[in-house]
Amino acid sequence: MVAALHPVSLDRRLVEVTLALLADEGLGALSLRRIARRAGVSHGAPLRHFHGLADLLSAVAARGFALLSEAIEKSGAQLPPGAGPVARLRAAGRAYVETAIANPDLFALMFRPGDLDLTHPDYQRESSAAFEQVVRHVRAAQDAGWQTGRDTRLLAGCVWSGVHGLATLWAQGAFTGPIPGASLEDALSTTLELVLDTKQGDDR
């Protein structure tokens, strides 16, 4: 006997539809009416599952942070055996930038507090988890002798701001405007070397 397939719940479907609409048409296309039309439901249907557009967008942003956390988690698997904590921190920074550039509109939404409900439980959980990943990588690097005199959470915030800045500028096309010959690889390698204050070949 073949088990019946469970239909996707409407709230999850609306999140998926919003992600697709965001990728296809950008932030300007996001309205409850457009999302409902694309999902094939009545205009009022989203309000049976979300308090409003900000509530729905917060669930979508939470999905973005989960995607980011997954990319950071996987980044260490691409390193050679024996790679140390600083190399893993560098790999995490690379994963952050690459994920942001691959999903520019989702990335932009994740950091637009005016469009979100910052009290949304999924948003709070996933955004916090993503930052705590960075904190753990930074603490491990400090335990290996890197920047031992710095406050761990402050240092994590500064590492985050460095890679976030590159990701934002590159995704918006602002980086290559004044530096037309720059490649993403060169920009990323240079940023990570400067942010981590260590030579590129260091594999501690």
* Burial class for 204, CB neighbours closer than 10 Å (0-12, 13-18, 19+): middle
Determine contact, residues 160/127, Cβ cutoff 8 Å. Answer: no
Q: Give 21-36 pLDDT, tens digit per residue.
A: 999 999 999 999 999 9
* Domain at 65-196: CATH architecture: Orthogonal Bundle (1.10)
Q: What is the CATH number of domain 8-50?
A: 1.10.10.60
200 pLDDT band (50/70/90 cuts)? very low
Q: Give 102-120 pLDDT, tens digit per residue.
A: 999 999 999 999 999 999 9
Q: Give 118-175 pLDDT, tens digit per residue.
A: 999 999 999 999 999 999 999 999 999 999 999 999 999 999 999 999 999 999 889 9
Where are the domains positioned within the chain?
Answer: 8-50, 65-196
Q: What is the mean pLDDT of residues 168-193?
A: 91
Residue 127: which residues within 8 A CB-CB, separation 6 or more?
61, 62, 65, 110
